Amino acid sequence: MTPQTGLPFMKMHGAGNDFVVIDSRGRGAVMTAGLAQALGDRNRGVGFDQLAEITDSDSADFGLVFWNSDGSQAGACGNATRCVSDYVMRGLGAETVSLVTARGGLRAERMKDGRVAVNMGQPQLDWREIPLAREVDTLRLPLDGDPVAVGMGNPHCVRFVADAEAVDLAAVGAGHEHAPLFPQRTNVEFASLLGPDHLRMRVWERGTGITLACGSGACATAVAAHLRGLTGRHVVLEADGGTLEVDWRDDGVWLTGPVARVFDGVLSPDYIAAHR
């Protein structure tokens, strides 16, 4: 970034879950809460579900920091991780990469069909790790709809419903996001069973609102469905924006799906200066 050239960025998406990606390697982190919030505005900025900033790492091929459109940070973002891993793998000429997020060390790989998979680590099932405000049965939360709490580096509240299409996401999702039981707020997923190991999922993300898909949410939903006895450990999920596949293995929860690099752009120096 220079005063003359501005700040380059990429627009990417995974199953309709869309991201602004900024590569800060070699120059230090450039993102701030104010700039992230401004960029997240779909009318006055670029617009995104999350922003992913690529950073240098001494212990992995790269690091990742995630921002929500309200300027808050997110601890994990599975679809953004897959998109950025695809970009880095192409740059390295590799089929696998290692990365570090607030979640810890992760690994991603390219599948033969072009999709990208990432190991999101083991789910957090203890109420302290999710985190919840007090000790409760995480498989039967004392909230409307009898939801399940699962941590995937960020908190999730998963509700199983007869028909996910009929849910008023804006009304019900916002209420769960701000439930006192979740001190850091929560992502909310609504899922219905379509068939054996096949779920329909819709998402309300904390700090963002309705999104077309959520990678960590798909992982949390698949884990919750298995723990409730609704599915096995390998699940296909139909999100609003596309199909995601989750496989809960011994080494972690693997998320697989499509990735797309839509366009590249440059933020003007004046825009950056105005929103620092």
Residue 163 in any domain: the answer is yes
82 lies in the same domain as 173 = no
152 lies in the same domain as 246 = yes
109 lies in the same domain as 195 = no
Note the pLDDT of residue 73: 92
Q: Which residues of the chain have pLDDT under 50?
A: 1-3
Q: Residue 216: which of 135, 124, 92, 143 has the closest Cα? A: 124
Q: Which residues, 6 or more positions from 223, have their beta carbon under 8 angstroms from its beta carbon?
A: 123, 125, 150, 152, 246, 248, 253
Length of the chain: 276
86 lies in the same domain as 11 = yes
CA angle (182 as vertex; 80, 215 as ends), nearest 5: 20
Residues with active-site annotation: 77, 214
154 lies in the same domain as 190 = yes
79 lies in the same domain as 184 = no
Residue 216 in any domain: the answer is yes
Note the pLDDT of residue 28: 80
71 lies in the same domain as 175 = no
Note the pLDDT of residue 3: 45
Q: Which two tokens stand for residue 24?
A: 């800060």
Residue 130 in any domain: the answer is no
What is the C-alpha separation between 246 and 254, in angstroms, rounded? 6
* Owning domain of residue 225: 148-250
Residue 1 in any domain: the answer is no
Residue 140 in any domain: the answer is no
Residue 187 in any domain: the answer is yes
Residue 190 in any domain: the answer is yes
107 lies in the same domain as 212 = no
54 lies in the same domain as 106 = yes
CATH number of the domain within which 187 lies: 3.10.310.10
Q: Which two tokens stand for residue 261?
A: 């690099």
Instruction: Work out the burial of residue 27: count CB atoms within 10 Å of its CB; fewer than 13 is exposed, 13-18 middle, 19 or more buried.
Output: exposed
85 lies in the same domain as 154 = no
Residue 76 CB neighbour total at 10 angstroms: 27
Residue 142 in any domain: the answer is no
Helix (H, G, I), strand (E, B) or coil at 45: coil
**How many domains does the chain contain in total?**
2
191 lies in the same domain as 239 = yes
Note the pLDDT of residue 276: 80
Note the pLDDT of residue 4: 57
What is the C-alpha separation between 237 and 158, in angstroms, rounded? 13
210 lies in the same domain as 230 = yes
What is the C-alpha separation between 85 and 78, in angstroms, rounded? 10
Per-residue model confidence as pLDDT tens digits over 242-264: 999 999 999 999 999 999 999 99
